[in-house]
Amino acid sequence: MIGNAIAAILLLILIFIGVKDWKNGAVFYIIFSIISPHIHFSDVILSFEIVSFFPFIGILLIKNRKIFTLYSKWKHRQLLWIYVLLVFISSLLSMISNSVNFPFVALFGYIRVVFMIYVLQALYEKDPSSQIDKIITPVLFINTLVAIVQLLIPNSVELFYDFYYKTSLTPLSEVLRIGYFNRAYGTFGTPVSLGVLSLFSFAMYLGFYFEKRPVKLLVIKLLLSAIIGVMALSKTAIIGIPVMIILSFILSLTGIVRLINKKIFVIPFILTGVGYILTRILMELNLTIIHYLRFLNKPLDALSSRYNTDSGILTGTYQVISDNFIFGVGPNEVNGAFLGDSMYIGVLYTTGILGILVYFGMIASAMINVIRKRKTIAILCGIAFLLTGLAAPVHIDTLSAVFIAYLFSSAEKRKTTKANEAYQ
């Protein structure tokens, strides 16, 4: 299969780069994990990030194992282990009370993301803004190209279905059934994830623009971030981007974020013009863009399908949460409960109120620190993280790990110590 061949080539490239330079290896691991096709072993489908994780971590343990040393100064990422421990305890309790299997694969996913946050924070020790841009730029451009292909070439649906389908990603099955993409999916198995990328990257590049960072093609990257979200017909992006702009201006007026680049005020006008042109194009392609734009008038309606206690898709989930309010039930499907569309519901379902306190206490601590330090980019990335969490379980995810690590690194003090020298 073409997808397997591409993934194999990317794996060899990753190993070669990682052996030469672990920092470049870390950058390419994240990029390849997001864009690579899944790997098919007979009836088993594995993502690239799972298959490549062990050789990549093996390289890091040989070349720079101090990355994974526990240090008291890096309190935020170390608190993640408390959350993982809580997931473990919740899963054990659920095995006993709900007669479900222990979720080894899901727990491994949590551990893998925590490891990557460690690696990313080590990567961000020097010039974090440059490093995060190295990761997001190729992901953004590739997803823009893929999104355009998906919308303009109907028969591409079979190719991308082979590349990115997994049993948990039912939207790809639907577009295969109808025979064309009715919205852009990018290199993800769902348009929701493309919308998450859109809002994350928009927030980051908006922060760069606020601080007048010398980033190549900054305006283009900012526009592409918004464009892919609209092509995905993503409520996360269509509602989230205007909210980000409004909040960023309010925060600049209150002095919470630094506004150095006065040209920022032309960005809303440019976005409006590009948005109008893109809307006309999508209408010509018979996509339901107008339906999604209507949510701009009533943004809270976008949450009704996810959070409505009477008729929403989480009705059964609320009952499970109510019955297991303290510890949750771990990442297990109990009584057919659905838990895929919200970080907040996901944390509460998985680890109960204790998980809410641990996880969001950690995020709140980091946000307070970056606000005190007026770290504009980190503040906007943190807001984007909280907004995307309304629509997707981004609390433990490879893409969001890039921004969580940036938030943590920006929140923590940067002093040159012997421990830091190990990363240089």
Two tokens at 378?
């980190």
Asked if 47 and 136 sit in the same domain, the reply is no
List 45's β-bridge partners, or say none.
Answer: 40
- On whether both 394 and 318 belong to a single domain, the answer is yes
pLDDT of res. 393: 92
Same domain, 233 and 253: yes
Please choose, from the candidates 144, 91, 79, the residue with its C-alpha nearest in 3D space to the C-alpha of residue 118. 79
Q: Comparing 384 with 319, which gets the higher pLDDT? A: 384
Q: Which among 248, 270, 297 is the end of a domain?
A: 297
Please tell me the total number of residues recorded for the chain in this structure. Answer: 424
Q: What is the pLDDT of residues 171-195, one digit of tens each?
A: 888 999 999 999 999 999 899 999 9
Residues 84 and 148 in one domain: no
Same domain, 24 and 98: no
Mean pLDDT of the chain: 91
Number of domains observed in the structure of the chain: 3
Look at residue 203 and tell me whether its pLDDT is greater than 70: yes
- pLDDT score for 63: 87
| Residues 424 and 330 placed together within one structural domain of the fold | yes
Same domain, 379 and 318: yes
138 and 286 part of one domain? yes
Gap between the terminal Cα atoms of the chain: 40
**Reported confidence tier of residue 423, pLDDT bands at 50, 70, 90:** very low
pLDDT at 152: 96
- Over residues 252-299, the pLDDT tens digits come to 999 999 999 989 999 999 999 999 999 999 999 999 999 999 999 988
Query: Are both 13 and 91 inside the same structural domain?
Result: no
Q: Residue 316: what pLDDT?
A: 82
pLDDT in tens, 337-378: 877 678 999 999 999 999 999 999 999 999 999 999 999 999
Count of CB atoms situated within 10 Å of the CB of 189:
23
Looking at the fold, whether 424 and 329 belong to one and the same domain comes out as: yes
Range of the domain at 284: 132-297
User: So what's the pLDDT on residue 253?
Assistant: 94
Over residues 375-401, the pLDDT tens digits come to 999 999 999 999 999 989 999 899 999
Kindly provide the b/e burial profile for residues 25-51, where b requires at least 16 CB atoms within 10 angstroms of the residue's own CB. Answer: bbbbbbbbbbbbbbbeeeeebebbbeb
If asked whether residues 174 and 282 sit together in one domain, one would say yes
Last residue of a domain, one of 244, 265, 297: 297
Q: Are 48 and 36 in contact (CB under 8 A)?
A: yes
Which of 43, 68, 93 marks a domain boundary?
68
The answer on pLDDT for 419 being more than 90 is no
Residues 159 and 256 in one domain: yes
